[in-house]
Amino acid sequence: MNSELDHLAAAAAPFARFTGYDPVEGRRRIAARIEARRAAASRQTAPACRQIQHQAECELRNLATRVINHIAAPAQLDGLVNSRDVDPIGGLVFAALLYLSGHPRNAQFWFEFAAGSGDSTASFSLYLHHASVGELREAEHWLEQTTQLANQSDGGVPPRPSIPPVHAYMFDTQWHGQNIADDTSDLPRPDLQLRKTVDHLRIVLEDEQLGSFVLPTSEVAEQLHDLVCP
């Protein structure tokens, strides 16, 4: 933008002595007007962006809460710990637990693990996660992935069962996607004891490509069972 203004100012210079126009001062005024318009546009869009991010965060918390409170969730998480055949839904449950315990980065790893195995709830969770931190390009990618998983034809490989099923979400035009309308305030979320256990999970550094991540334990699975299945 500055180079364009410099070009215009230079072009106007030969005429300045006839019109009394000061190219340097004119450039300064134009730049000030552009900056004022940018600032006004930013003030108008910033609240809307913050509202969208806040809405995405709330909806992801609601979704994660419903995931860990599913009747099969403790068993799915235990299967992730003790089974040789890793169940992607166990990864979804663990991701939801990590997110609700204040570990969104670790949760993202396990959401991606479950989504990569064809779980549409995990894919939708990644959409909400990226939207909540303003990463809209990544959010759009995961929304497209969610749509593909939910609309797979009978001739293809069907998506793994989702908890809760994606078709239960309501469509919201503001999101150009789906959101969660159910109130989860009456459902339990990780208590202090469970959060402390999650805080002390062992960190694994697999390689440079995967980076670091945490692994679930039998203690976490047992405490989740005690929390949601009293």
pLDDT tens by residue, the chain, 230 residues? 455 555 555 655 555 554 555 656 666 666 677 676 666 655 555 666 777 788 888 889 989 999 999 889 999 999 988 877 777 889 999 999 999 999 999 999 999 999 988 888 899 899 889 988 888 888 888 888 887 887 764 444 444 444 444 444 433 333 333 445 456 778 889 999 999 999 988 877 665 666 678 889 999 999 999 998 87
The pLDDT of residue 179 is 42
Within 13 A of 125's CA, how many CA atoms are on the CB side? 39
Q: Report the length, in residues, of the chain.
A: 230
Rounded CA separation 86/134 (Å): 32
Q: Which DSSP letter does residue 205 get?
A: E
Name beta bridge partners: 170: 179
The pLDDT of residue 58 is 86
- Given the structure tokens 């939207």, which residue do they identify? 131
Name beta bridge partners: 110: none
Within 13 A of 220's CA, how many CA atoms are on the CB side? 30
Among the listed residues 189, 176, 90, the one whose alpha carbon sits nearest the alpha carbon of residue 139: 176
In the chain, where the domains are located: 2-46, 54-228
Q: What's the whole-model pTM score?
A: 0.69
Among the listed residues 193, 182, 228, 189, the one whose alpha carbon sits nearest the alpha carbon of residue 97: 189
The pLDDT of residue 185 is 78
The pLDDT of residue 178 is 42
The pLDDT of residue 52 is 76
The pLDDT of residue 168 is 40
Assess whether the previous peptide bond of 159 is cis (omega < 30° from 0). no
Q: Which DSSP letter does residue 164 get?
A: S
Rounded CA separation 51/43 (Å): 13
The pLDDT of residue 129 is 92
The pLDDT of residue 153 is 40
Who contacts 89 (Cβ-Cβ below 8 Å, separation ≥6)?
A: 72, 76, 114, 119, 160, 161, 162, 163
